[in-house]
A and B are shown apart, each in its own frame.
Chain A
Amino acid sequence: MAGELVLLDFWPSPFGMRSRIALAEKGIPYEYREEDLRNKSDLLLQMNPVHKKIPVLIHNGKPVCESVIQVQYIDEVWHDKAPLIPSDPYQRAVARFWVDFIDKKIYELGSKIWKTKGEEQANAKKEFIECLKLLEGELGDKTYFGGESLGYVDVALVPFYSWFYAYEKCGDFSIEAECPKMIAWVKRCMQKESVAKSLPDQEKVYEFILQLKKVFGIE
């Protein structure tokens, strides 16, 4: 069942981090291969010809692309270890809804925060916080979005924490001040080895963003 497992990834990608966490949670060994996105490997282009993007999970030579699809695939294949997706259909629908929400909002708004200035940035910050607050509402009093253990929504969201410091520095605001419950949840997640080992250091991500800004000519 395990077979050969390779993850084509890029260290600061929150999408790649999702699959890293899922595999780590289930204790599944795999080969991690770092891609240089300015010089993509033949393997990446061959395994993801449609989008040419990371992450790509290659299982016994067959590629699975798109992080949310990878996490679901990992959960379905290795279903007996640390299940991430709820078993009840309605709870699954709720979890999928929030993962879809995260995908539609968090990355794009976060990108606007570090890429833009002035009014556009201010609007992005405001909406970003509103989205986090909606997620706080969904979390409620639970330890994790998944309840007592890490679930699909936790895995989908927590990678963005590695970018929070960069967002805060670029946007000159404090996420913890606005969303303390969110940060408390993050800290609980970071206690888990699967999460702590899958997320890069926030300062490193910030340095990376600063380099990108130079490359794109953003002040």
Chain B
Amino acid sequence: MEEEVKLHGMWASPFSRRVELALKLKAIPYQYIEEDLSNKTPSLLRYNPVHKKVPVLVHNDKPVAESMVIIEYMDETWENNPFLPRDPYERAMARFYAKFIDDKLLPTLAKLGQTAGKEKEETIEEIHEQQKVLEDELKGKQFFGGQRIGYLDIVAMILVWLHLTGSITGQKVLSTEKFPLIYEWIERVMKMEVVNECLIPEEKRQDWIQLAQRAPKSASN
């Protein structure tokens, strides 16, 4: 059967980039449609009428929205390079920490752009507490997924982005000294070609920093 896979995405959205990484990890050929969030395509509005957001994966004209829903759909449809473990308890753990990143870490990072002075320091403290949770998850493992990159690694890519942008702004939000396992993980994944392909290109990183500071709520819009 002819498979047709399309992704409506946006270059600055970590949620959209997540799905791209997932597609590349499974070597699924796809057509990418870059959305201008101030002028969304009629297709996007038709495929995601409820939220009108990116990313949306369209598989043989059937749309799937919400990055984590998309990633689980992909894992169940294309069985090569599985993202989630087979064991139900380990799956629950992977989903728990992924939800932690999305529900806790990302909003705290978003808040950071809006704070200054003492409040900023407190927010950075909060981020460090959240980083500790993830650091503990890496103990004894090469990747969050164990021996291979998996579901939680895909979601945790935001840490790589922060590390890169931290080098540009000079403002280190991620404490790589306090959390050496996370730092080693960042170095390890950055050696992977597919990961590099899904990072924001160097020439766009300044733009991303400005965008992130202006529209913190969610880069997927």
Task: List residues of chain A with CB under 8 Å of any chain B CB.
Answer: 50, 59, 62, 64-66, 69-70, 72-73, 76-77, 89-90, 92-93, 96-97, 100-101, 134
Contact of B88 among A65, A76, A90, A96 (CB under 8 A): A76
B217 to chain A, nearest CB (A): 13
Q: Is the CB of A65 within 8 A of B69?
A: no
Given contacts A50-B133, A66-B99, A90-B73, list 6 more A-B pairs with CB under 8 A.
A62-B89, A70-B92, A72-B91, A73-B91, A101-B50, A134-B50
Q: Select the stretch in B16-24, B59-67, B158-166, B182-190 that faces chain A.
A: B59-67
- Write out the residue numbers on chain A whose beta carbons fall within 8 Å of the beta carbon of B100: 50
Question: Complex Cα distance A50/B66, Å?
Answer: 24
- A50-B100, A50-B133, A101-B50 known; A72 and B95 CB under 8 Å? yes
Shortest 3 CB-CB distances between A and B: which pairs?
A: A89-B76, A76-B88, A93-B73
Q: Is the CB of B69 within 8 A of A96?
A: yes
Output the nearest chain B residue to A100 by Cβ-Cβ distance. Answer: B66
Give the residues from 84 to 132 in chain B that come closer than 8 angstroms, CB to CB, to chain A.
88-89, 91-92, 95-96, 99-100
Q: Is the CB of B88 within 8 A of A93?
A: no
CB<8 Å pairs between A and B, sample of 28: A50-B100, A50-B133, A59-B89, A64-B89, A64-B96, A65-B96, A66-B95, A66-B96, A66-B99, A69-B92, A70-B92, A72-B91, A72-B92, A76-B91, A89-B73, A89-B77, A92-B73, A93-B64, A93-B69, A93-B70, A96-B68, A96-B69, A97-B50, A97-B69, A100-B66, A100-B68, A100-B69, A134-B50
- A93-B70, A93-B73 known; A73 and B133 CB under 8 Å? no
The A interface, classified by DSSP as helix, strand, loop or mixed, is helix
Output the nearest chain B residue to A78 by Cβ-Cβ distance. Answer: B88
Q: Is the CB of A73 within 8 A of B92?
A: yes
Q: Does B36 contact A (CB under 8 A)?
A: no
Question: Complex Cα distance A40/B27, Å?
Answer: 47
Q: Is the CB of B89 within 8 A of A73?
A: yes
Question: Complex Cα distance A69/B100, Å?
Answer: 12
- Write out the residue numbers on chain A whose beta carbons fall within 8 Å of the beta carbon of B133: 50
Question: Complex Cα distance A134/B52, Å?
Answer: 14
- Write out the residue numbers on chain B whose beta carbons fall within 8 Å of the beta carbon of A93: 64, 69-70, 72-73
Output the nearest chain A residue to B93 by Cβ-Cβ distance. Answer: A64
- Residues of B within 8 Å of A, CB-based: how many? 22
Output the nearest chain B residue to A48 by Cβ-Cβ distance. Answer: B96
Per-residue 0/1 for B137-154: is the Cβ within 8 Å of any A Cβ (1 yes, 0 no)? 000000000000000000
- Write out the residue numbers on chain A whose beta carbons fall within 8 Å of the beta carbon of B65: 97
- Write out the residue numbers on chain B whose beta carbons fall within 8 Å of the beta carbon of A70: 92
Q: Is the CB of A69 within 8 A of B96?
A: yes
A140 to chain B, nearest CB (A): 15
Q: Is the CB of B89 within 8 A of A69?
A: no
- Write out the residue numbers on chain B whose beta carbons fall within 8 Å of the beta carbon of A72: 91-92, 95
- Write out the residue numbers on chain A whose beta carbons fall within 8 Å of the beta carbon of B50: 97, 101, 134
- Write out the residue numbers on chain B whose beta carbons fall within 8 Å of the beta carbon of A92: 72-73, 76
- Write out the residue numbers on chain A whose beta carbons fall within 8 Å of the beta carbon of B99: 66, 69
- Write out the residue numbers on chain A whose beta carbons fall within 8 Å of the beta carbon of B62: 90
B6 to chain A, nearest CB (A): 15
Output the nearest chain A residue to B100 by Cβ-Cβ distance. Answer: A50
Contact of B66 among A69, A89, A97 (CB under 8 A): A97
Question: Complex Cα distance A5/B154, Å?
Answer: 31
A45 to chain B, nearest CB (A): 15
